[in-house]
Structure 1
Amino acid sequence: MVFSDVLRPSESAKYVMKHGNLVKINRNGVENVAKQILRAVKDGSIEQVAFAAHKLHPKTADKTAIQWVFLIDTVNFSFWPDEGEHYDVSYNSEKYTGYYAGCAALNRALDSGINVLDAKWMAEVGLEEIDRVFKSDSGHSIPLLEERVKAINNSGQILLQKFDGYFYNAILAAQKSAQNLLEIIVENFESFQSSNSGGRLLWCIGGKG
């Protein structure tokens, strides 16, 4: 059941369009991009930007990869640090910022033996360990650390309670319907719910930048 004060992603977008004074949509630009995407789909070049193409993203299509995508999307919001701080994470001798710094931090944790993809770990992990996992090269904590801990804990708890610990089972429950999957996500996971008074976190099953 969706909470009464929660907006679905499409409703959130309508709200922003109606009330946003500093945001305008370039309709010609939207149409041009849509045409470019259509051409890329037709000629096959869109395959070059597949989710797995990025070196930090999973290269498999199994339960583990799905769990990885779900976890990174759970914490994929507001990577802007406070003034004077930096959020950057190095992995395999390359430095990343923003969303990709989060990806690098997850991969770094997995390489060190921390099973961040385990739903029980997600449900029970505390602030200090999350801080260590996502700590930046410069020694600063990931922005909105407490909010991310809450999001990870909630996601882990719901996975254990309703999906036998794997987001893969949520996808199965959607029965190959993106609309059904969106309903499942919004109805069950707090950090993916949009609210008038809270931050809006939009889901993208393929990955985000």
Structure 2
Amino acid sequence: MALTPKESGEHIVKNAKYVRVLPEGIKKLTQEVLAGILDKRIDVSNFSQHDMHPKPTDAYAAEWIFLVDTLNFCFWTPTNYTKYKVNGQTGYFALCAAVNRAIAEGVDITNAEFYSKIDAETLRHIFRSDDGDTAVPLFDKRISCLHEVGNRLLEKWSGKFENVVLAAKNSAKELLTLIVQEFPCFRDEADFAGQRVAIYKRAQILIGDLWACYRGVGLGAFNDLECITMFTVNYMVTRMYYHPP
């Protein structure tokens, strides 16, 4: 059985040989986060204010978030390679742009029935880049993830990730458990120094995105959000909330 992400972090820090956590770095980060909160550069409302993100009133918002976070991994390219771009966006936001473009074109991309059996040609068209030549990284892995999560939603959850969220009954901890149990592609675990450790990066980001999109109410209401690790909180701050002047 894997340690929780919090327990895993402590175990890794205590047993790491080649890296270490600097207390002064943690202090600096907390000061920057606090300053961002006070001057509203970091604010939950910034999620839906971003043009790429759904609004809490969008009927497909929860399914959009699940789809995007299923595919949100490994957009890195070597410095001498052409970056994957969609509508001028790179990385995570290129993914968002591709999904939103598909929706605008009438593709039912957030529907598990559709993406559970999506073929390579269709997905390549959805992911097509601005230059027409640069492919989205790890294409085969991404289509495999879509088939996996889509089929599981259809088998057990009536095709809706929203039903998984409702089953957690406003518990972030329970939702995290459900996500990594039901969808193996979210289960990032490894053996380290005699223990099974868990990071659960995308699973925790998924919960954070729900909370942010719905501003802590409805599908985004969690009574134990503090159980989500600071790793993910920091990622959300830098990726979605932090808007330098």
TM-score (norm 1): 0.82
Q: Quick check: 1:167 aligned with 2:157?
A: no
Describe the shift of the 1:32–1:16 C-alpha distance in structure 2 as closer, same or farther (beyond 3 A).
same
Alignment counterpart, residue 175 of structure 2, candidates 181, 192, 196: 181
Shift of 1:118: 0.5
The runs of 5 or more residues in structure 2 that have no matched partner are 192-198, 210-235, 240-245
Q: Quick check: 1:99 aligned with 2:92?
A: yes
Question: 2:189·2:200 contact (CA, 8 Å) conserved in 1?
Answer: no
Describe the shift of the 1:11–1:132 C-alpha distance in structure 2 as closer, same or farther (beyond 3 A).
farther
Partner of 2:201: 202
Shift of 1:106: 0.3
- Distance, in Å, in 2 between the alignment partners of 1:56 and 1:157 is 26
Q: Quick check: 1:59 aligned with 2:55?
A: yes
- Distance, in Å, in 2 between the alignment partners of 1:64 and 1:152 is 17
Residue identity matched to 1:102: L
Alignment counterpart, residue 151 of structure 1, candidates 128, 141, 145: 145
Partner of 2:127: 134
Q: Quick check: 1:87 aligned with 2:84?
A: yes
Describe the shift of the 1:44–1:81 C-alpha distance in structure 2 as closer, same or farther (beyond 3 A).
closer
Describe the shift of the 1:16–1:85 C-alpha distance in structure 2 as closer, same or farther (beyond 3 A).
farther
Name the SS for the 1:196 alignment partner. strand
- Distance, in Å, in 1 between the alignment partners of 2:8 and 2:90 is 27
Q: CA-to-partner distance for each residue in 1:65-91, whole Å, 9 max, x for gaps?
A: 01111111000000023653320100x
The runs of 5 or more residues in structure 1 that have no matched partner are none
Shift of 1:98: 0.4
Partner of 2:114: 121
- Distance, in Å, in 2 between the alignment partners of 1:166 and 1:9 is 26
- Quick one: percent identity of the two aligned structures? 34
- Distance, in Å, in 2 between the alignment partners of 1:8 and 1:121 is 33
- Distance, in Å, in 1 between the alignment partners of 2:104 and 2:42 is 31
Describe the shift of the 1:63–1:21 C-alpha distance in structure 2 as closer, same or farther (beyond 3 A).
farther
Partner of 2:29: 33
